Structure 1
Amino acid sequence: MRTTLNEDLAGRFAGIALGHVTREYPNKLTHGLAGPEDARTPSALHPVFYGSFDWHSCVHAYWMLAHLLRRFPDMAPAAAVRDLFDRQLTPEKIAGECAYLAQPGARGFERPYGWAWLLKLAAELDGLPDMPWAGHLAPLAEAFVQRFRDFLPKATYPVRVGTHFNTAFGLRLAADHAEATGDAAFLALLRDTAERWYGNDEDCPAWGEPSGDDFLSPALIEAECMRRLLPRERFGEWFDRFLPRLATAQPMPLFRPAEVSDRSDGKIAHLDGLNLSRAWCWRALARGLPAEDPRRALMDRVADLHLAAGLPHVAGDYMGEHWLASFAVLALEAGEA
């Protein structure tokens, strides 16, 4: 039976996130110092997103909380989530995040992973009616949209790694914000960039997967990016060329869950995330094919295999606990999240 998100599981995931989004330490800052005055604590630098070990993990924990609140408004931790958002997503604190972003040394801050997650959070908050949080976050979201607008036209090449710098992941999440806000020009920029970077790719070997600290499959997230941005017929043609041997479970590395040898090692723990993000991509890609396509059954089976490998490990050691639940929700809500 396919594992799905229910209210009990949503409450569990929300409880995990509530336990770390305001936990300031341990903390891994991405921060440049222009002088001694820049040596400040995480919460002084980032009035909202100072918890969860690092800025981007805190952002996508907020996204997960917003998504779970929208899907299950009566879940047990719902009041705590609303209270958190009321305390943290204020105009004053968002202005502090914008001020950090405006510093000359922050030009490449969190590009593109954190950019994309912030926009996905903004899109999710738009789906919560009668709440002020989306409006409060809007100036920060627009700052990141502008960063995409400035960066993408001059980015000659994509980045195809399985970590935070992957550009397909950035385009994929940014597309949700462009669509939610009706920003047709931004969506067109994302689509044109995806075509320019990936449109001619074919017969993907996936020979380097997985790398030792991947939490994304470079092959599958590229395919998911193209599914999200291309018209359905155009995607089908592209996908047939990109993974032409999929029906025979090739290339094999994409079909075998990653083994995780040490969950206390932050880099090795990424591989639990790889299993969850692969489950997300396989499920979403299957939905992008016609209902009668025989490959869908195979893709759903391999998605379930990866989900089963990753889902038991969303909590335990903090190296995974501060971020894995977000990717579990992506996998469980593929087609919805």
Structure 2
Amino acid sequence: MHVPDGFINAPISVAAGVAAAGAVAVSLRGARRELGGSPVGLVGAERTAPLAGLVAAFIFAVQMLNFPVAAGTSGHLLGGALAAILVGPYTGVLCIAVVLLMQGVLFADGGLTALGVNITVMGVVTVVVAYGLFRLLVTVLPRGRRSVTAASFVAALVSVPAAAGAFTLIYSVGGTTDVPIGKVLTAMVGVHVLIGIGEAVITMLTVGAVLAVRPDLVYGARGLSAPLKLRIGGELVDAEPVAAPAATGVSPRKVWLTGLAIPLVLAGVVSFYASASPDGLEKVAADKGIDKNVEEHAAADSPLADYGVKDVSNARISGGLAGVIGVGATVVVGSGVFLVVRRRRPAADEATRVPESV
């Protein structure tokens, strides 16, 4: 659902850019707590920072794997639900923003003038809808891993047509072509419900896999176990929470190496077998005439444009190298952002720090 340049007019693109910048600014502040950078961070939050860069890289890689959803149409992961459940909603918005930035600048995927629209639709809307629904479901469902995976499936499924609806709303206000919005909404939501099923399956399987080896690394699963009760003075009270140990003995290093190897293989090898059919937005745009005023991407001359390495004639090698470079760049940029966010201490915290004795 990468919106290209020319779909949305300049005033609405600017407004969406301002909204996206505001969302990123809020997320930078909120992500400090999720990444363990705050003195009052959640139990286990210090483990989230190393995972966040890998989550961004994984989403980048899986977005290269278009899967068929209907005749002549494909879809790919949006990733907002997955990122929010694994590393938290604020960090999730940042993950998607990093992915979209890498795709737009390096691979000419998603317009640069439409970057604000893409972050708003694919990042903010998917995260807000998915995580809100996820928290609601895990609250009413029985506590346990099955509830987490089931809730992740439903949240991811709903987030994709919600994003399609958000795009249609933006297009109804700032679209550059005169098309019947009702027909666009029906087509967009219809095809993205099908894409949402694929998104839901990928999200559920990924969350379930991480839960199986290191449940303490899943942000959305924190606090789901029933608190230990102690009898004090004849009354039952909750015991103080303690850090949850890793359920399996899998070391952080193995988790990190495996988490890096998987997106490298997906982007470098498996992506060659992805569907070549246009994705949901591209198909609807072509059918309904939305793409009449599409503009050439500003980074069309990039050596990695269209997910291929310039001057490498072998399509398999060219696409694989581009994917590996993209994963590497996303890990480096994403991890750098998350490390800075985690270590940054607000002025209020600095003012209250007790000076060390000399």
Q: TM-score, normalised by structure 1?
A: 0.24
Q: Larger helix proportion, structure 1 or 2?
A: 2
Larger radius of gyration: 2
TM-score w.r.t. the length of structure 2 is 0.23
